[in-house]
Chains A and B, each alone.
Chain A
Amino acid sequence: MSAPAGSPHPAASARIPPKFGGAAASGAAASAGPGSAPHQQNGPAQNQMQVPSGYGLHHQNYVAPSGHYSQGPGKMISLPLDTQCGDYYSALYTVPTQNVTPSTANQQPGAQQMYSRGPPAPHIVGSTPGSFQGAASSASHLHTSASQPYSSFVNHYNSPAMYSANTSVASQGFPSTCGHYAMSTVSNTAYPSVSYPSLPAGDTYGQMFTSQNAPTVRPVKDNSFSGQNTAVSHPSPLPPPPSQQHHQQQSLSGYNTLTWSAPGLPSTQDNLIRNHTGSLAIVNNNPTVTDSLSCPVMQNVQSPKSSPVVSTILSGSSSTRTPPTANHPVEPVTSVTQPSELLQQKGVDSSSTTSSASPMPNSYDALEGGSYPDMLSSSASSPAPDPAHEPDPAPAPAPASAPAPALPQPSKMAKPFGYGYPALQPGYQNATAPLTSGVQPSNPVYSGFQQYPQHYPGVNQLSSSLGGLSLQSSPQPESLRPVNLTQERNVLPMTPVWAPVPNLNADLKKLNCSPDSFRCTLTNIPQTQALLNKAKLPLGLLLHPFRDLTQLPVITSNTIVRCRSCRTYINPFVSFIDQRRWKCNLCYRVNDVPEEFMYNPLTRSYGEPHKRPEVQNSTVEFIASSDYMLRPPQPAVYLFVLDVSHNAVEAGYLTILCQSLLENLDKLPGDSRTRIGFMTFDSTIHFYNLQEGLSQPQMLIVSDIDDVFLPTPDSLLVNLYESKELIKDLLNALPNMFTNTRETHSALGPALQAAFKLMSPTGGRVSVFQTQLPSLGAGLLQSREDPNQRSSTKVVQHLGPATDFYKKLALDCSGQQTAVDLFLLSSQYSDLASLACMSKYSAGCIYYYPSFHSTHNPSQAEKLQKDLKRYLTRKIGFEAVMRIRCTKGLSMHTFHGNFFVRSTDLLSLANINPDAGFAVQLSIEESLTDTSLVCFQTALLYTSSKGERRIRVHTLCLPVVNSLADVYAGVDVQAAICLLANMAVDRSISSSLSDARDALVNAVVDSLSAYGSTVSNLQHSALMAPSSLKLFPLYVLALLKQVAFYTLLSLIMYLKFSDMYMKKGNLDCCFLILN
């Protein structure tokens, strides 16, 4: 599948490193693209957030493994599945019993809350059971990842059956059984009509194995990442406490397993550990395997939906840690395939997600699940188990034996977000026989579970659409637990922090969109603007609409069902009034169900519109009919505009670029119509005639930069395949063509005008490489920097553009569906604030490499190389528009990101790439008292690189609350901080940097004081914050120290500023900042 595994993902690397690296590093991050997404695209997309830094390092590792993935049932898989399954189940179940009680442990400050972001806990030995659960849960959730949608579907209905046998009790959430995994993979088959790019059609059960395998594989990848991450993020790994519990593990494996105990592990963890010991032992046998296990933790974040029990389990598993050093076994790497590469390749296809990558789905799930910290931690650990099983199936039983004396802990109950998992879904009941057999062994263990229902009496009641808070069962949800920030020491969790899960009922929760692609700062929407004002929290959405997904249902249908008044696409949150009518969830209009929609391709049955994939998945992609295009879809067109002045030649970027291009020429997304062109410029503009039939490339020089014209308009952009030889010749020659140039001027403006002329008939992507301040022709810039002011700490000036030339040019480009991507490789002042406009308004991206030099600054060169690889091979969508709709009563204002706002809810995106992120601020215009749910829908209409017009639709559903406490309980701190960062960047440009800093500080002060004044029983002397907000001050503090808001040098400021631009919408922003 991912044959090219060898290639590392450049983009991924960008994220974390920046912090460490300092300014330069930040630039790298920027390079990743406006979005933070890059990682995701890689196979391990789910991990994205945490992983990033690791990527670069571990490339090799990724490659090797690829084989396994593709094979489906890899070597590992060959292991006796049945036994494994049995093990799994047993493990799972056993764990849960313990877990349930321990749930309280989570509350303990240290341990639970650390979810994961962090690499901190890089190497969790991996509790086997956990992994499964995580996967399973993920399956159940609707996720953007391609596999998921279908899988989820299957899971809900089919797979559950397995469970049903075992655990009616467990209903809440334990979809985690092996079956789930299988389901996900299998699921693809289920939808015949739907076009799944690569669906392995197989029996669901038979595939189960593969599915299991997949998860195992993934963990390995993760490990590599995590290992790196951990090193990075957590400079000081917890010292491995010699915990009695771990005896076994230690003896077996050279690894020291560390317990998370530092934060205060609950006794329950011990239990968990024991449970896992069996698995651990196995792990020990294969060091590599263990690694894989540990890694998964991050990724496999459990879906929020999973029952609390699961989460606890996970935490248990997580508790055991291997020391970082041990973590990176090279060997395992080889076995694992890289998902990322697969994705990239597929990326070419663009929207069609690769169903084939079975492992991926899990990761997605993990992402989604992330919301609850506890849950998350547990989920993370979960993946590990799988690998363990592979090596040694037998151990599983041992865990089962593990003591069930779980401590009954209330805490889990407390969690606000719908822990209440209603009884198993009907679908579950339908279990298919085969899985059940595997499950049976576990049953005995299972009995322990029964406590579970008792613990959560109220759970089932909560299922109503509002998904009432679980508060009933516990006095206070975990996220509302007041934390005294002045006294609490270990606020920062050791594990990654996951997005909170909206407090919806289980059904909706499973259907909801992945937080990776769509996230809201408040997962409980206040009923009125007054309430929102009282809470003093930012309300907004963060979007990564084009993020690489591992699985994505692609729907080919003659009629795309949309609301007739608001044009909303049909989604899982609409209500069917009867068989023939549905009610729009955004405008509440009642629409007819078209005849075609009555037929369900999945089941080949008629009259079940609610089982259509569109209604089963919150992220879907439609192949648009001709109604959606006025002109034929444009081909992929790439134009490279290269600076070849003396400065540029001296920096030596041409060699790197040409090399990367040569390597990736075949991987450029596109079809047979793909066109490519090159231009170079110094004080003149050079065009290259690459027309097929020429013996060698012809260089055409235009020296009239005041009135640029195209010498031979037809032959400058040539078909990539027809002229490949010429292109290769040119790329080979280019680095040496200008070695002796003495030209120091740069006519960037005229070159861009020429590029615009060249591109305007088709649209496409222009990649501009610039190394200095433009000094000739239109758009020339003066140095605005006053050397005497450099050390001034007061005011950073010139954050705004010096000329509107670039803005106007960008708008023209945007009108012609051309995006300009800027690579600024500069060792001197180059006024990024002005140059950035060309990308900002044309929906391009900006990569900045301060003080770039190919030999003197190898780290930057390496970064450029990685970024280029990612840049050239990632998916791309052309002539895109994105519309965001929300339930009546809410309205969007202020968009953040790179685009042109074409209408109040419509963004014009000449290009869209998976790394692009956007943020939108929301306001509540009308009271939402008459509704219990609000929905947001983004529809991205684009032309894939294969020339298909497609619409990718994400739908997010959130509950409405009317109490301030609930609002605070639902804060997604990371999303909030990300939105604030975006707002602060814009503020610093429109007003001043100090304003932006003040605004950030005020945001924290206001929200915390608002909380303090609303919570009556707190001592006012203390600085109190709800648990959900306890990281808020820390994040803001980190943000203030971020170069963008911190630096004193105006020059650097630009960099930072660009960095922030890049991070716009980057969900990982805060995480990065923390480092």
Chain B
Amino acid sequence: MSDCWTLKLLFHHGTVPPETYSLLNVSPFCHCTFCCLDCTAPFAHQHLLVGPAFHHPAHRIIAFDELRTDFKNPIDQGNPARARERLKNIERICCLLRKLVVPEYSIHGLFCLMFLCAAEWVTLGLNIPLLFYHLWRYFHRPADGSEVMYDAVSIMNADILNYCQKESWCKLAFYLLSFFYYLYSMVYTLVSF
């Protein structure tokens, strides 16, 4: 369902490069299972894995944009008849966002674990800050516990929305850079064999 929605959104939005489409259809789960099979060439797997990881922030950015502009009723938001529709929309988006949190964090955790196993200390060092950030974010969530973050009632506060959006952009950049770094490292490792 989430992918379907995302595709629709992407199509509607038109700002995301077509490459992402393929990524969307590959579930992170497949990657995880696949990579766990082979621990000898961590970079290769990171390379594969970073794709999905990197789709999360991209996805999120789009979702925030959707939240902010409300494509369905950009103008007529004041209408009471739209209230329910809009509210449901916000709740649904928040729900989707929340669903992506744990996969993303676990994939990143897996990276770190694999780097640790492979004794790639430099790479691990690069990822550690983000790991701690994820841990902090995960355990620093609203008290009622049912929702990890992206709470429908507060997400529309501009400061929270801005923060989340910035966070997503930063992560996107980080994953993108890591992607090329892993690519380079993988090639370098292969060549040096």
The residues of A with any CB-CB pair to B shorter than 8 Å are 567, 628-631, 634, 763, 798-804, 807, 811, 814-817, 841, 879, 881, 883, 891-895, 900-904, 906, 908, 921, 941, 943, 989-990
Contact = CB atoms under 8 A, between A and B. Distances in A.
A582 B193 CA distance: 74
Nearest to B146: A804
Given A814-B87, A908-B87, A902 B162 contact: no
Contacts of A901: 153-157
B144 A802 contact: yes
B95 to A, nearest CB: 11
A599 B75 CA distance: 29
Given A800-B144, A803-B144, A811-B152, A631 B80 contact: yes
Contact of A892 (B78, B79, B88, B158): B158
Given A801-B143, A941-B78, A894 B158 contact: yes
Contact of B142 (A800, A815, A883): A800
25 contacts: A629-B80, A629-B81, A630-B82, A631-B80, A631-B81, A800-B142, A811-B87, A811-B91, A811-B153, A817-B80, A817-B83, A841-B153, A879-B80, A881-B80, A894-B157, A900-B153, A901-B156, A901-B157, A902-B83, A902-B86, A902-B87, A903-B68, A903-B86, A906-B78, A943-B80
A799 B159 CA distance: 22
Given A800-B143, A803-B144, A906 B83 contact: no
B147 interface: yes
A894 B155 CA distance: 10
Contact of B70 (A801, A816, A903): A903
B84 interface: yes
A814 B157 CA distance: 17
B161 interface: yes
A816 B78 contact: no
B77 interface: yes
Contact of B80 (A630, A883, A989): A630
B43 to A, nearest CB: 40
A799 B142 CA distance: 11
A903 B161 CA distance: 10
**Cβ-closest 4 pairs across A and B:** A800-B143, A630-B81, A893-B159, A879-B80
A631 B81 CA distance: 7
A81 B143 CA distance: 66
Interface in B77-107: 77-84, 86-88, 90-91
Nearest to A840: B153
Given A630-B80, A630-B82, A815-B84, A902 B146 contact: no
A810 B158 CA distance: 21
| Max chain A C-beta neighbours (<10 A), residue from B147, B155, B156 | B156
A815 to B, nearest CB: 4
Contacts of A814: 83, 87
Most buried by A among B84, B88, B155: B84
A993 to B, nearest CB: 13
Contacts of B154: 901
Contacts of B83: 814-817, 879, 881, 902, 908
A979 to B, nearest CB: 14
| Majority secondary structure, B binding face | helix
Nearest to B82: A630
Interface in B48-95: 68, 70, 75, 77-84, 86-88, 90-91
Contacts of B68: 903-904
A892 B68 CA distance: 13
B147 A804 contact: yes
Given A801-B143, A816-B84, A883-B78, 10 more contacts: A628-B78, A801-B144, A802-B144, A814-B83, A815-B87, A894-B159, A900-B87, A903-B70, A904-B157, A908-B87
Interface string B128-152: 0000000000000011101100001
Contacts of A634: 80
Nearest to B147: A804
Contacts of B91: 811
Interface of B: 68, 70, 75, 77-84, 86-88, 90-91, 142-144, 146-147, 152-162
Contacts of A631: 80-81
A802 B142 CA distance: 10
B156 A902 contact: yes
A891 B157 CA distance: 11
Contact of A807 (B70, B79, B90, B144): B144
A801 B158 CA distance: 23
The CB with the most chain A CB atoms within 10 A, among B75, B158, B160, is that of: B158
Contacts of A567: 75
Nearest to A921: B159
A137 to B, nearest CB: 36
A817 B68 CA distance: 22
Contacts of A894: 157-160
Given A811-B153, A892-B158, A629 B87 contact: no
A801 B147 CA distance: 12
Contacts of A817: 80, 83
Nearest to A882: B78
A802 B144 CA distance: 5
Contacts of B143: 798-802, 989
A629 B79 contact: yes
A567 B88 CA distance: 25
A661 B71 CA distance: 45
B78 A881 contact: yes
A846 to B, nearest CB: 16
A898 to B, nearest CB: 11
A895 B80 contact: no
B66 to A, nearest CB: 12
B78 A893 contact: no
A389 B136 CA distance: 70
A941 B118 CA distance: 62
A803 B147 CA distance: 10
A893 B144 contact: no
A1063 B75 CA distance: 32
Contacts of A628: 78-79
B157 A763 contact: no
Interface centre among A629, A634, A901 (most CB of B within 10 A): A901
B70 to A, nearest CB: 6
B156 A904 contact: yes
Nearest to A908: B83
A802 B160 CA distance: 22
Contacts of A893: 157-159, 162
A943 B144 CA distance: 34
A879 B68 CA distance: 22
Contacts of A902: 77, 83, 86-87, 90, 156
Contacts of A815: 83-84, 87-88
A941 B154 CA distance: 22
A959 B137 CA distance: 40
A815 B158 CA distance: 21
Nearest to A892: B158
A883 B153 CA distance: 17
Contacts of B153: 807, 811, 841, 900-901
Contacts of B162: 893
Nearest to B159: A893
A243 B124 CA distance: 82
A577 to B, nearest CB: 26
B80 A763 contact: yes
Contacts of B87: 811, 814-815, 900, 902, 908
B162 to A, nearest CB: 7
B166 to A, nearest CB: 13
